[in-house]
Amino acid sequence: MSNGPRLVLLGRQGSGKGTQASMLAEHFAINHLSTGKIFRDSADAGVSAGLEAKAFMDRGELVDDAIVIAVVEERFANPHEIERGFVLDGFPRTAHQATELERILEHAPIDLVIDLDVPEEKAVKRLLARGRDDDTEEAIRRRLELYEQETAPLIDFYRARGVLASADGVGDPDDIQKQLIELVEARVDRLRASV
Ligand code: AMP
């Protein structure tokens, strides 16, 4: 069986990237890897590293690079995780995480990074409506600020590597999903043609 696509979804919190990532994972039968979910699950299970991470998450701060990178590296230590294909949701979030991801995936680089674009006000509205534990107004504001500072520069980083595609994240989730699937398929076709 051929390998599935290796994808990254970028976008500010509230862009709908979690929903889109899980739909893409289902469509392409690949793994959905959300670092936020991994931390939430391990906090719920009472694991001390997860509880430590939760303190940062509740304030809207980023979890320490070293901790997040270790989680991702551990996951990808299993070659099947890479072979099956995956969509990363919420990782990388900093330049350091992005360069470490290149190291971790040295032999199986990312096929496509999709930037899911939603204006800030719209994202805030969606986050307030979502009402997750860590979605206080202050935490939301801090996360959006950190997104601009730390994560938005990754758009240029991936554009320079020739793997970036952008999609409008405003609209009907099913329509957006169709666009994302088309972007992935076009990319996969191009990569196959160039082998
Ligand atoms: P998310 O589920 O992607 O919205 O992530 C929820 C929270 O988990 C974030 O606000 C961060 O505190 C933390 N987190 C998730 N992924 C990362 C990451 N790649 N780097 C740093 N912190 C992260």
pLDDT tens for 6-44 read 999 999 999 999 999 999 999 999 999 999 999 999 999
Does the beta carbon of 151 lie inside 6 Å of ligand 1? no
Provide the token pair at 157.
Answer: 């980083």
Does the beta carbon of 56 lie inside 6 Å of ligand 1? yes
Segment 45-72 shows an average pLDDT of 94
Give SS3 for 158.
helix
Strand-strand pairing, 86-89 and 112-117? unpaired
Cα 189 to ligand 1 centroid, rounded to whole Å: 32
Does the beta carbon of 184 lie inside 6 Å of ligand 1? no
- Determine the pLDDT at residue 175: 97
Does the beta carbon of 57 lie inside 6 Å of ligand 1? yes
Helix (H), strand (E) at residue 34: strand 31-34
Q: What is the pTM of this model?
A: 0.95
Residue 134 pLDDT level (bands cut at 50, 70, 90): confident
- Determine the pLDDT at residue 70: 96
- Determine the pLDDT at residue 2: 62
Domain-wise residue ranges, the chain: 6-33+86-194
CB 150 within 8 A of CB 159: no
Distances (CA, A) of 45 to 3, 80, 131, 166: 32, 25, 21, 36
Cα 176 to ligand 1 centroid, rounded to whole Å: 23
Query: Residue 1 above 50 pLDDT?
Result: no
Domain 6-33+86-194: give its CATH architecture: 3-Layer(aba) Sandwich (3.40)
Query: Residue 167 above 60 pLDDT?
Result: yes
Segment 43-65 shows an average pLDDT of 94
Cα 13 to ligand 1 centroid, rounded to whole Å: 9
